[in-house]
Structure 1
Amino acid sequence: MFQNNPLLAQLKQEFAEQKPHVEGIVRAHEKGFGFLDVDNKTNYFIPVAKMKQLCHGDKVSGTIISNNDKESFEPEILIESSLQKFIGKIGFLDRAMVIYPENMPTKFAIRCQVNTEVKQKLTEGDWVVATLQSHPLQKDKQQFLAQVTQFIARSDSIYQLWLKTLARYQLEDNAPQAESLIISESEQQNRQDLTNVSFFTIDNENTEDMDDAIAICQDEMGNYNLMIAIADPTAYILPDSELDNIAKVRNFTTYLPDFNIPMLPKQLADDLCSLKANQKRPAMVCKIHLDKTGQFTADDIHFTSAWIESKAKLCYNNVSNFLENQSDLNFANTEIKTQLKLLADLAKVRINWRQQNALIFKANNDYRFVLDDNRQVQSILKEERGIANNIVEEMMIIANLALTLYLTEKIGTGVFNTHSGFDSKYIEQILKILVDNGISDFDKESLTSFEGYIRLRRLIDNNDFLSTKLRKFQSPADFSITPQPHYGLGFLAYATWTSPIRKYGDMINHRLLKASLKQQPFPAPTNEQLESMADRRKKLRLAERDIAENLYSQYLYDKQEQCFTAEIVDINRGGARVRLTEIGAFAFLPLSMIHNARDEITLNIDEGSIKIKDELILKLADKLSVVIHQVKIENHSIIVKIGENK
């Protein structure tokens, strides 16, 4: 008699509407229950039975059920599942194949579909990519079900970490292939023969994809005649060809610790285009005349397509040692030795010019992971920059500024690197910080202007505290098809062309340059391509970060109580984020590791300081000694405590 009773249905609806409705993010616990996080302060318990309908990270809505003064959450509607396309590990339950998604509770398994041929190849512990096919909260669905779409790595693969990371960010895990690579007839014509010029390269010892070579001389007036040769892959790769379309998608060579995936076929990147010693190679060459102070104009620049032959491959450390009179180079070519001294002089002149007319970032150390045969971290080397690094950096900046002038004045478009200074939404906050630190001669208009940004940077560059404090308010670097300022470098415009083996944007600029020299039309770059470049660059940085965090946590896992020098890079509600300066790892120093009485600690995030009983203990940019306290492998977090002063 109660079936299809409209009154009963109305009562049910009214009862349901009386229950409080909330939405939030599911947080799963290893023991099977969970919580719905509504905001930073509010969460609701989810019983084990209801968690069977959910997975960690799901965004859901539902009602709050009260029972004996205890509240719990009952899910009703799936807003967005955290599992859409995901990485997981293959397992078997009751002979059925399942997948254990990464970053989920260890017992959370999803039944998966896979075609018979692939299924026969999969074994327990293998890693795959899968897509979610059904979710229990979806209409007419009763269980989780996923479809395996891509194999990543065997359970025992020593490359598992790298392959999983590449798959996570949808990056290729192998080099593109090419059957035949020849220089087109048009690209062979009218190339200037510069094979007699004593070009040479300076790079890392193991570098194979060398894309720049240098030659220099000085006239009787003390002016510099500089030639920079850049590898020319566009001589082999025609626009809109198969290889060009591959490079257009990849945009960059992928550089991960001890694991590189080239943008171009290795035959091109490491051989045919690489400016190897004693090998004739096609190149684009920029000839620049600079006065004694390192200055040049558009009239001092000449570009040409050429054939070159590098006379030597030099390494950073050897060149720096030679120029610092620590050791000699292992060859008798006196001409190159003379050139190195000229380049060192020009680099110093240019650094001084940039200090006066642009901006210079403080040199950061590079860190290199040394891996054993099983790709486990043996050690981490701190590679300090020397004179040779300064030489190459300054010469490439000169070459890029030369191209920037050419693109701006003669073409009007290209791929330009841009940076707009501080993010506008933080301007009021930045102004307050400056005033609090005794700098009051800036306003909103001056702080957002190119000239004002440069003036501030020059003012605070030697102030470690303010430099560190304001760094997080910077806007991200970007690309533009028209000349736009690069605040970070202090240039009104900046385009690159010196790494065409590794960057598709540089290939675009090569083609524009060639077309202009030949007085031929060439399609301008598009904003869509620049968006693709920006997206790929972001993915590459995230992938590199993930690998580094994993390797650091692996390396430090058994080094509890080992002491390191650290620098405070951020202060937040929980404590201080620090960087271990000997190895480059980031770690967290919780307030509980600073002082055991929390009520005696005063944390001022705006000031970037931590006080105990009103006495300043730590502030941003401070150097201190820390000890490894704990390494959490599951999320690659490194916890430190304060050590004894060294």
Structure 2
Amino acid sequence: MIPSMNEKEPPIATGVIRVHRRGFGFVSTEEYPQDVFVPKPYINGAVDGDTVDVEINTEAVSEKGPEGKVLAVVRRGRSHVAGTIVELAKRGAAAYAYVPLLGTDSLMKIRPCEERKFQIGDRLVIHVLEWGSQRKESAGEMSQYIGHISDPSLDTIAAVEEYELSDAFPRAVVNEAKVFGEEVSEKDKESREDLRHLETFTIDPETAKDFDDALSLSQDKKGNYHLAIHIADVSHYVRPGSRLDSEARARCNSVYFPGSVLPMLPFELSNNLCSLKPKVDRLSVSVLVNLDEKGSVLNYRIVKSVINSAKRFSYGEAKEVLDGVKKSKHAKTLKLMVELCHRLKEKRYERGSIEFSLPAIQLHVNKKGDPEKVEFVEYDITHQLVEEFMLMANETVATHLAKAEKPLTYRVHAEPTEPNMKEFATLANAYGFNLPEAPSTRELQELFDEARESAVGQFLATSFIKSMRLAIYSTQNIGHYGLGLEYYTHFTSPIRRYIDLVVHRALFDESSPDEDFEEIALQCSERERLSAKAENSVILLKKLRLLDQSQKDDPYRKYDAIITQVKPVGFAFEVEELMIEGFFPVSRLSEDYFVYEDLRLIGTRTEQSYRCGDRIKVAVEALDFITKEAFWTLITSNRKKRRRR
């Protein structure tokens, strides 16, 4: 729909709405470069994924973007939803279900079902009969019984249904993958550059099975580096128009859950023929980059190749070799990679790239789906060198295609909005740092470097990440703000990302003539967002189950937490052991009456305060697996008295 040109009437546009669990939403339209923010009162019955007409208030622009209200739902995004029974036998209904898609404010009425007597906690796939409105409740009937919320083995299955993800592959797709066999044929190796003589190895997580990338590095007598980044040549097997291609495009990416994966490609390809496993010949696309002793690029080539990886390193094993704990014939090359990594990082900082080095976690589950432990993954030098070389490959390919004026899906990242940047600068300055209202990326990096070892270093980095816009795929290049790059794309993970496969084809003019790159970019951006929500949903539920186990072992256990956000209504915090977020409302701070002042909650009588970065202790009060919420009790904190002025 074309926006209204009548200046007396507000413009109207059509797009897909994304609804946050707190009720507000964003509408992506072709007519406006920025998403339209829709406050909760103006959602008008729309749910996540619906196509809507939105009226835009040109005079109301918040920090979230231009504001609007939904006029009508043009088309529903789905006919089935996932839900969990929370109430039984009420007003003639068999039950009422909590449906995450509808938010926490309303329940869906479920019709009686002859084949099943519902219990609280039953997980269902529901066929929607009535979407409801502000005056009318939504209604549906059971389409499929998943199981009970108490069964952790069903967490992933429930997420697959909730987010409409693809699980099993159609038989025709699997059969097409099996045609290629289990080994690379001699014919397939013809007309490729033979790089099997290079010392090549992979470095991946311990649990990885799909190895997209391998590395080679040497140095000549002049001190020049010869870096080779080998990426699995998925495009050789997945051709435009094939069933494999159609399925991969529909999925857009692999989805990773604790203990399992929904691959973009059948395991015959993702875990075998395309995976750069050791001691076997594999087809790859190699980016061969020659750099001087300072890490500046001298020249490069991009070729179709044959490689043979000598070793499959885990990050941990590679780190042990570098630390001298474990011996390896590849130790010298690993150390050379560290050296080049430092050179490249220095250059990246010089051009304005931002790095946070935040900790990550890996959640381990058993075969029954029970969470066993949370392991913190350190972003050590082995992770850094792999990332640095992948950035090099992605930038080289993007620049190569852009200069050749070939069609390309860029990975773009817009600058933060001015209000968000000002708000972050105010926050940083409140903690004693000196940051201008419109800081450069260099000034931001200096801030994070300075704050890294302080009590608020991680908090500031996380706060800035939340203030930034999401990186997306687009045919319109606006550069990559976070990396400080003019040209950037995704090329290094074609086993698990469809965009990378499309970029591989563009390199060698193998794209379909009717390929719609903009449509692919939009679809992959949306699926990436959806997959992340599904992954985070399961991870959060597993964390809650882990908390539940801990409470059963020790009902009086206390957890260390750090306050991450303070608002007039209360403060948010993160339980550090599990990296799980919580919220404590100001109404429950009974020891005093608290007011919001100078980014803090301050007691009017005691002058005790709560502010970002303060460390507190909390205990679990209640857990809700259905809504995926934890409720907390505040035990102690390092509440400080405000300094008198």
What's the TM-score bracket when you normalise by the shorter of the two chains? 0.7 to 0.9
* Corresponding position of 1:306: 305
What is the alpha-carbon distance in structure 2 between the residues aligned to residue 478 and residue 624 of structure 1?
A: 36
Task: Give the secondary-structure state (helix, strand or coil) at the position aligned to 1:243.
Answer: helix
Which residue number corresponds to residue 28 of structure 2?
Answer: none
Q: 1:526 to 1:153 in 2, by over 3 A?
A: farther
User: 1:621 and 2:621 equivalent?
Assistant: no
Superposition pairs of residues 455-494 of structure 1, within 5 angstroms: 455-459=443-447, 462-463=450-451, 464=457, 467-494=461-488
| Partners of 2:89 and 2:620 in 1: CA distance | 39
Q: 2:582 aligns with which of 576, 579, 587?
A: 587
| Offset at residue 560 of structure 1 (A) | 4.5
Q: CA deviation at 1:584?
A: 1.6
In the other structure, the counterpart of 1:199 is 200
2:383 is the counterpart of 1:398: no
- 547, 555, 562: which is aligned to 2:557? 562
Partner of 1:178, secondary structure, is: helix
* Alignment check: 8 A CA contact 2:108 2:140 kept: no
In 2, Cα distance between equivalents of 1:640 and 1:258: 31
**2:634 maps to amino acid:** K
Question: What is the alpha-carbon distance in structure 1 between the residues aligned to residue 155 and residue 93 of structure 2?
Answer: 23
Contact 1:212 1:231 in 2 (8 A): yes
Q: 1:421–1:453: 8 Å Cα contact kept in structure 2? A: no
Secondary structure in 2 aligned to 1:215?
Answer: strand
**2:139 & 2:488 partners in 1: Cα distance?**
50
**Deviations 1:5-26, CA, capped at 9 Å, x for gaps:** xxxxxxxxxxxxxxxxxxxxxx
Cα deviation digits, residues 583-633 of structure 1 (max 9, x gap): 22222234366x42342x2224xx432323484633223444444444344
Indicate yes or no: 2:542 matched with 1:546.
Answer: no
Unmatched tracts of structure 1, length 5 or more? 1-26, 28-38, 42-78, 114-118
CA distance change for structure 1 residues 186 and 374 in 2, over 3 Å: closer, same or farther?
closer
- The code of the aligned residue for 2:487 comes to A
The residue aligned with 1:250 is 251
Mapped partners of 2:477, 2:429: distance in 1: 33
Separation of aligned partners in 1, 2:381 and 2:93? 58
- Taking the TM superposition and a 5 Å limit, the aligned residue runs for 1:145-544 are 146-149=140-143, 152=146, 158-175=152-169, 177-181=173-177, 182=179, 189-296=190-297, 300-329=299-328, 334=329, 336-424=330-418, 426=420, 429=423, 452-459=440-447, 462-463=450-451, 464=457, 467-515=461-509, 525-544=516-535
What is the SS of the residue equivalent to 1:385? coil
How far, CA to CA, are the matches of 1:457 and 1:319 in structure 2? Answer: 28
- The question of whether the paired residues in 2 share the 8 Å contact of 1:359 and 1:458 is answered with no
Q: Distance in 2 between matches of 1:97 and 1:515?
A: 59
- Cα distance, 1:534 vs structure 2: 1.4
Kept after mapping to 2: 8 A contact 1:454/1:487? no
Indicate conservation of the 8 Å contact 1:88/1:100, yes or no: no
Secondary structure of the 1:588 match is strand
How has the CA–CA distance of structure 1 residues 186 and 123 changed in structure 2, closer, same or farther, with 3 Å as cutoff? farther
SS state of the match for residue 209, structure 1? coil
How many aligned residue pairs are there? 543
The alignment's C-alpha RMSD in Å is 3.9
Give how far 1:337 is off.
2.0
2:572 matches 1:577: yes
Length-normalised TM-score, structure 2 = 0.74
2: distance between equivalents of 1:496 and 1:200?
Answer: 21
Residue 137 of structure 1: CA displacement? 9.0
Could you tell me how far 1:263 is from its partner in structure 2?
Answer: 0.3
* Secondary structure in structure 1 of the residue aligned to 2:384: helix
- What SS is found at the alignment partner of 2:231? strand
Query: Residue 151 and residue 597 in structure 1: after superposition, are their counterparts in 2 closer, same or farther (change >3 A)?
Result: closer
With over 3 angstroms needed to count, the CA separation of the structure-2 counterparts of 1:383 and 1:540, relative to structure 1, is same
1:612 aligns with 2:598: no
In the alignment, is the contact (CA less than 8 A) between 1:380 and 1:583 conserved in 2? Answer: yes
Partners of 2:161 and 2:536 in 1: how far apart?
A: 14
Contact kept in structure 2, 1:497 and 1:510, CA below 8 Å: yes
How far off its partner does 1:439 sit? 8.5
CA change 1:553–1:568 in 2 (3 A) is same
Amino acid at match of 1:201: T
Alignment of 1:113-152 (within 5 A): 127-134=123-130, 146-149=140-143, 152=146
Q: For structure 1, which segment, 178-187 or 353-362, has the greater mean C-alpha deviation from structure 2 after superposition?
A: 178-187
1:596 lines up with 2:587 in the alignment: no
Corresponding residue SS for 1:172 = coil
Alpha-carbon offset, residue 642 of structure 1: 4.0
How big is the shift at 1:273? 0.4
AA aligned opposite 1:550:
L
Give the partner amino acid of 2:205: N
Whole-angstrom distance in 2 between the partners of 1:521 and 1:362: 39
After superposition, the Cα gap between the structure-2 partners of 1:394 and 1:123, relative to the gap in structure 1 and judged at 3 Å, is farther
Quote the offset at 1:430 in angstroms: 5.5
Over 3 Å counting, the alpha-carbon distance change for 1:110 and 1:508 in structure 2 is same
- Cα shift at 1:138: 12
SS in 1 for 2:317: helix
Cα distance in structure 2, aligned partners of 1:566 and 1:270: 39
CA contact (8 A) 1:560 1:630 kept: no
When residues 174 and 621 of structure 1 are mapped into structure 2, their CA distance, relative to the original with a 3 A threshold, is farther
Question: For 1:110-156, what per-residue CA distance to the aligned partner results, in whole angstroms no more than 9, with x for missing partners?
Answer: 2268xxxxx87x786664322232589999x9x98635445645888
TM-score, normalised with respect to structure 1: 0.74
After superposition, the C-alpha distances for 1:406-446 in whole angstroms (9 at most, x for unaligned) are: 12212343121111121356466567667878889857xx6
Contact 2:414 2:471 in 1 (8 A): yes
Instruction: Tell me if structure 2 keeps the 8 A contact 1:563–1:626.
Output: yes
Tell me the alpha carbon deviations over residues 66-86 of structure 1, each in whole angstroms, 9 at most, x when there is no partner: xxxxxxxxxxxxx99999632
Residue number in structure 2 paired with 1:62: none
Matches of 1:472 and 1:314, distance apart in 2: 33
**Structure 2 segments unaligned to the other structure (5+ residues):** 1-21, 23-38, 42-71, 452-456, 639-645
Say whether the 8 Å CA contact 1:152–1:167 is kept in structure 2. Answer: no
| CA deviation after TM superposition for structure 1 residue 491, in Å | 1.5
- Report the CA distance between 1:247 and its aligned residue: 0.8
Conserved 8 A contact 2:167-2:262: yes
The answer (yes or no) to whether the contact 2:398–2:488 under 8 Å persists in 1 is: yes
Tell me which amino acid in the other structure corresponds to 2:612: L
Label 1:82 to 1:527 Cα distance change in 2 as closer, same or farther (>3 A): closer
Contact in 1 for aligned 2:294/2:343 (Cα 8 Å): yes
Pairwise CA distance, 1:203: 0.9
Shift in alpha-carbon separation, 1:631–1:643, aligned structure 2, 3 A: farther
How far is the alpha carbon of 1:206 from its aligned partner? 2.2
Could you say what secondary structure the match of 2:408 adopts? coil
Relative to structure 1, the CA distance from residue 389 to residue 460 in structure 2 (aligned partners, 3 Å threshold; closer, same or farther) is closer
